[in-house]
Structure 1
Amino acid sequence: MYDTLEPHLTAMRLTPYLAAEKGHRKNAIRLYQWNIELSGAVYQALHVVEVVLRNAIDEQLCRWNATQINSRTGSPLRSEWLLDPAPLLTRLVRAKELDVSRRRAEQAVRQQKRPVAHADLLAQLSFGTWRFLLPDKDAGRKLLWEEATKDAFPYLERSPAELVKSIDGIYRLRNRVAHLEPLLNKGNVRKQFENMRTVLREIDPDVEKWFVSIQKVTTELRNSPR
């Protein structure tokens, strides 16, 4: 099986698995197959976390944006911040990313022959958008945290820095899964799974309970061949 798969998967892709199994080729293939199953389970978990995190932050940004004033007209901005963003949000999310999300959203709704809505743009933003809206040394992110984004985590009982560290860990794991990289560091996968639980609990404990009831990460970790 190794000889059959190697030309299609490439020796470089199989190298980490072969190294982990000390050159045993049959075990390397078995480990590769397990990594696929674990990656699927992690992706499922990330799906829940990303959607819940995105919507929690978006709700607060919509409320905050509606309190901001258009400097040209003197009127309040729209609550749909992706359609009418305050200057601070344009800077933090970056105009380029907003433009990319608009192009993708326009393509997604083209056949429906309707204008792009806030929800369409929201669906096109990356996980990194939410990670990098959270507070750090940037004065704008600190201000946004105090006036808006902290309310996305009503059950937060730790420091903002600890929250950001957890979400950054999830973000990095998400990137590994997205790029089909090995998840052979089971300790890190367990750690990020616990981070997922904690972040969801800080948004809504009931959602965290549901998440635990449907996730498959712990099952796949127990099924590890090594």
Structure 2
Amino acid sequence: MTVADPPPELSQAAAELWLSIPRLSRYLRVCAQDLDTALRLYAWNSEIAGAAFTDTCHFEVALRNVYDRELIKRYPNWAIDPSSRLFHREQGHPRAREWQRKMNERSRRELEAARSGHGAHPAHGQVVASQMFGFWTKMTEKDRAAVFWNPMLSRAFPAKTSRSEIHDHVARVNRFRNRLAHNEPVFSSRTGLLERLDDVRHVFDLIAPSAAAWASTQSRVPELVAACPVPGLISRPSS
């Protein structure tokens, strides 16, 4: 098929078989039940989801590296040393300690899985890069503030930065990233494309402002928003 050839026709029955009736219906509803527009919207959604995913990946790299730089100041090789005490830290009242133990055990399991996936002698950077976004998100949980945020991670941010604010931003980005990975509609009210990318830019600018500015110039999201097949579909909620 050449560039000039029209795309092959796809019947609604075939589209439903491919996407499922509920998924296709979400696109048809915002396209006045026009199948051609709905399919163009679906293709556009995949493209802008990929662009937004790239933006979140740039941020994820910055976040994990800045956290790692703070952690290794007290716990060198924490990612590759099974005897590291980093994820044995506990402090506070009994309920907090119980939650810290559970979270620490989970973190140790995730690190062990990452180490085993890189052979007998994994590099520290390999293990750090293997951790899922959720691994870093959970390090700023409220009950972990005394053991991770206060003594270490807070130093990655400007003075007096709120742990809860950072955690909320990053947790929203984590959920957003998971939806993007599953090709969910970015125009869903549960997604909030522009708001979630605001979360990305806000935290990115706090930890690596020059890199955040560079990444912003590379983003394809603005041009894709402008090219949405349904004008006005992507917009900020009115205040």
Number of the residue aligned with 1:17: 27
The reply on whether 1:53 has 2:52 as its aligned counterpart is: no
For the structure 1 residues 92 and 211, does the alpha-carbon distance in structure 2 shift closer, same or farther, using more than 3 Å as the test?
farther
Q: 1:127 to 1:156 in 2, by over 3 A?
A: farther
- Shift, 1:34, TM fit: 0.8
Unaligned runs of 5+ in 2: 1-9, 91-99, 231-239
TM-score of the pair, normalised by structure 2: 0.77
- The aligned length equals 206
- Identify the match of residue 200 of structure 1 among 201, 204, 212: 204
CA contact (8 A) 2:111 2:127 kept: yes
In the alignment, what sits opposite 2:89?
A: 88
Give the one of 130, 154, 160 matched to 1:150.
154
Q: TM-score, normalised by structure 1?
A: 0.81
Q: Which amino acid aligns with 1:5?
A: A
Contact 1:2–1:29 (8 Å) recurs in 2: no
Aligned residues of 1:173 and 1:192 also touching (Cα < 8 A)? yes
Pick closer, same or farther for the CA change 1:169–1:128 going to 2, 3 Å: same
SS in 2 for 1:147: coil
For the residues of structure 2 that align with 1:157 and 1:17, how far apart are their CA atoms?
Answer: 44
> What's the offset of the Cα at 1:18?
1.4
Which residue is 2:185 aligned to?
182
Identity %: 25
Q: Residue 62 of structure 2 contacts residue 208 of structure 2 at CA under 8 Å; is this kept in 1? A: no
Quote the Cα distance in structure 2 between the aligned partners of 1:220 and 1:134: 33
User: Which range moved further: 48-57 or 161-170?
Assistant: 161-170
* Cα distance in structure 1, aligned partners of 2:17 and 2:196: 33
Structure 2 counterpart of 1:116, which letter?
Answer: P
Match of 1:209 among 189, 207, 213: 213
**Cα distance in 1 between the residues matched to 2:105 and 2:165:** 28
Report the CA distance shift for 1:99/1:168 in structure 2 as closer, same or farther (over 3 A): closer
Q: Flag the 1:142–1:96 CA change in 2: closer, same or farther, 3 A.
A: closer
For the Cα contact (< 8 Å) 1:93–1:129, is it kept in 2? no
Matched, 1:42 2:52: yes
The corresponding residue for 1:160 is 163
Which of 17, 41, 52 lines up with 1:31 in the alignment?
Answer: 41
RMSD: 2.3
CA contact (8 A) 2:154 2:161 kept: no
User: C-alpha separation between the residues in 2 aligned to 1:53 and 1:125?
Assistant: 12
Bigger Cα displacement from structure 2, 53-62 vs 19-28:
19-28
Structure 1 spans left out of the alignment, 5+ residues: 66-78
* Displacement of 1:9: 2.3
Compare the two structures and name the one with the higher helix fraction: 1
Q: What's the counterpart of residue 133 of structure 1?
A: 139
**1:79-111, CA deviations, whole angstroms, 9 ceiling, x for partnerless residues?**
11122242128847533443344334433x34x
Contact 2:170/2:199, CA 8 A, preserved across alignment: yes
Q: Displacement, 1:179?
A: 2.3
* SS of structure 2 residue aligned to 1:184: coil
